[in-house]
Amino acid sequence: MTENIRKNTFLSILISGIRYIYPVITFLYVARILHPEGLGRVQFASSITALFIMAAGLGMPIYGMRAVSSIKRNSLFQLVGELFLIRAALGLCTWGLFLFAFRYLQISDPALLFIFGVGILGAIPECEWLFKGMESYSDLLILSTVFRLLGIAALLLFVRQASDLFIYAWITVIMGVGINLAEAVYAGAKWELQIFKSCKDIICSGKVAEAFRKHLMHLVLFFLMSCAVTIYSHSDTVMLGILKGDADVGIYACAARVKLLLPVISGALWAASLPKSAKLWKDGNISAFKTLSDYSFHVVQTLLLPLVFYFIVFAGPCVSFLGGLEYTEAVGPMRILLLAVIPIGFSNIAGGQLLIPMGEEKKLFLAEGIGAGANIVMNAVLIPSLGAAGAAIATTLSELMVAVITVYYAGKKAHIQILDWKPLKHFIPGCIAAGISGAVLWTGWKDIVKLMVSALIFGAIYASVMLALKDEIFLDMFSSAKNIYRQLCPAGTRMKIRYGRRQIRAFGYRAKGLISGGDTRYLCPCCKTNISRFVSGGFMDHPDTYDPDRYVNVVQEVICPVCGALPRHRILAAWCDGHQDEIKGRILYFAMEDSMRMWFERNHIRVTTADLYQAADLRLDIQDTGEPAGSWDWIFCNHVLEHVPDYKKALRELHRILKPGGKLICSFPIDESYETLIENPNAGESDRIVRFGQSDHLRVFGRDSEQILSRAGFKVSRIEGAESEESIMPVVGPADYDVNYLFLCEMM
């Protein structure tokens, strides 16, 4: 999966997750305040108005996203104006229809229904489709999060007793309207759309009918699909309210909470992949199209199956935590509804990521129509005798029917084998992890503690096994988590955390050696830890960053498992051990490694760190530091000069800021098969990997490296790794240009 799709999928999951987690969080509070009867009244009114809001939106959420993603930027102004105009016209017509129904039909809870009905008008400026089409998921995430946090705050402040259900309804509606208005205002400002001006221009130019002709049929088709989905998403609740009563609706609402949350994964994945899938199919790149779909189905099988099994095991504590003892009857329906998550996942990918990009919307509509009709019939048959459990059975079976039909048509059209049994083997570790975590059910802990502890056990076991199996999904998740960690956690804090981990690891190795003894033939002079072996850094597993040919004929087990020291660091630390008395005065270290930091701290030698991009004492450009001339006694510079645009300028600067008699210790990649260095500061990333061994290298030095340093004004000698103690060996590698010596450069 491409990095862009991975990022958008993750953000889409967060957006959808927040959208579904919000009612779960509010449910924890509201269910205890309103009780099943009050909660049932709110859910019933909300479900009825959801049908009107769906009609007002027509098929805009999906069609708008597809239209925006496939249009040129200079045509965006016109397109958005046309879609907003259609959305406004439909919203006003639907509002009129709602008022007619409200006025002439006998409604049991008119005040509550009218409050939620205001949301029909408030949905007119909704433009999430525009943000998704423009792939601006981060902005959408921020807007969604801010308003939902405000909604939670308002809920806690103003909803205090059972009679406050009207206040709860107003808070829900106002929050939704606020999100929609904020989206429209922000989108207009971000992309300079002038939405109202665009709508006015279309009206004044008499092109309203043309706009409807251009988009209406597509919108109707997507609307019919949305209609079918909404019908079998809400018909269970509506029919429960009609056939049984408010209490049963409240029980069912509690049972459906987790079932609503888990499909977020597959829904977000197809939404983020749809623009890419459509382009691949249009371009005839069937191979890449199939690869992308295979990945998505792999996600469904690898993630959703174990999660469903876990929540089935812990349905009891989930219900108790969500609603309390009043909702005990929801345990059975929740377990039944959880079974619907798997077919929902398959139908999301088969329909949204395959059938829609292939132009087979009618097949998807057929599947959803059959599912909606079957759902209504089965609800009518099962609810009178089974109540909430009957509604759960009807929903699960209808979802299964939709999945079977969409998978059949998608596989037939694209010639894709949807059901791949290989990923199913990963379901076994997930089931085992869920089973082991189920042991906490036998404890006397509170439900929230059971859920937290079991989730940690389940996640830790399953993730560890899948990472050990090198499952693509979990490797992607781990990579994304690391990227988020880097973005959210300041560089200085990350460095302290990483360094702290290395200190703890060093302590653990030393304690292990004292307690159990064993083979500790090697010594890392950086962290002063005896170890049984050095380890590999896995450089050959990352051809997008490193050139594997540089590593294939070199021993890879050369890295200290405690501090991460490479051979060049051990050479330097071993040399420093024998010259501690000389290393004093003002010391400047560029791009300091954790391993050497441990050496300096252990020997109580004060050093000033410098870096242009990472956390350091001084933010310096080695080519132009701005430091006073002759201001440093020692400078350390390990594998830095291959990264800077002008290494000659950097050497001149280092010479300038060293005191008379000062010393520079440096190293850099040296390919001894080259007579002199080769470089190209303007080379592309892929070219740099091939020519210089690493994506961020701008050059590789050759056999004349010592002469280059001499021409910069230094008296040069070597610090030879070959002369080091055998216990720190090997001192070459891991790449073929990582030589076993460093340069000691003295000011002349």
Which H or E element spans position 161? none
Q: pLDDT digit string (tens) for 95-130?
A: 999 888 877 666 667 888 889 989 999 999 998 888
Q: Using omega within 30 degrees of 0 as the cis cutoff, is the peptide bond preceding 543 cis?
A: no
Stretch 256-279: mean pLDDT, rounded?
73
Cβ(418)–Cβ(424) below 8 Å: no
From the list 646, 611, 343, the residue with the least C-alpha distance to 495 is 611
Given the structure tokens 């994506």, which residue do they identify?
Answer: 695
Give the end-to-end CA distance of the chain in Å, rounded to a whole number.
Answer: 55
Give the pTM. 0.60
- Helix then strand count (H, E) for the chain reads 28, 10
Separation in Å, CA 128 to CA 83, 172, 205, 518: 13, 18, 27, 61
User: 306 with 431: CB under 8 angstroms?
Assistant: yes
Task: Report the percentage of the chain scoring pLDDT > 90.
Answer: 32
pLDDT reading at 423 higher than 70: no
CA distance 324 to 212: 50
Q: What is the average pLDDT score of the chain?
A: 85
CB atoms within 10 A of CB 16: 18
pLDDT for the residue numbered 182: 92
Q: Which residues of 319-346 are buried (b: 16+ CB within 10 A; e: fewer)?
A: bbbbbeebbebbbbbbbbbbbbbbbbbb
- What is the separation of C-alpha 552 from the centre of its chain, rounded to a whole number of angstroms? 33
Q: What is the DSSP string of 659-686?
A: EEEEEEEEE--B-TT-SS-EE-TT--HH
Indicate whether 195 pLDDT > 60: yes
- Closest Cα partner for 207 from 84, 88, 82, 93? 82
Kindly tell me if the per-residue pLDDT of 424 is higher than 70. Answer: no
Q: Is domain 539-747 annotated with CATH 1.20.140.10?
A: no
Segment 16-31, tens digit of pLDDT: 767 767 777 887 788 8
| Whether pLDDT at 486 is above 80 | no
Alpha-helical (H) ranges within 559-670 are: 567-577, 594-602, 647-657
Angstrom CA distances, 310 to 151, 304, 448, 464, stand at 30, 10, 15, 16
Among the listed residues 396, 304, 384, 393, the one whose alpha carbon sits nearest the alpha carbon of residue 349: 304
Task: Report the C-alpha gap between 716 and 509 in whole angstroms.
Answer: 38
Indicate if the pLDDT at residue 276 is higher than 90. Answer: no
Break the chain into its structural domains and give their ranges: 3-420, 539-747
Task: Express each pLDDT in 636-683 by its tens digit.
Answer: 999 999 999 999 999 999 999 999 999 999 999 999 999 999 998 788
pLDDT at 521 over 80: no
Spell out the residues 6+ positions from residue 76 whose beta carbon is closer than 8 angstroms to its own.
68, 191, 193
Q: 535: helix, coil or strand?
A: strand
pLDDT tens digits, 284-324: 888 888 888 887 888 788 888 888 988 999 998 888 887 77
Question: What is the C-alpha to C-alpha distance for residues 193 and 76, in angstroms, rounded to an integer?
Answer: 8
pLDDT tops 50 at residue 590: yes
Mean pLDDT of 536-546: 86
Q: How far is CA 293 from CA 247, 274, 397, in A?
A: 42, 10, 25
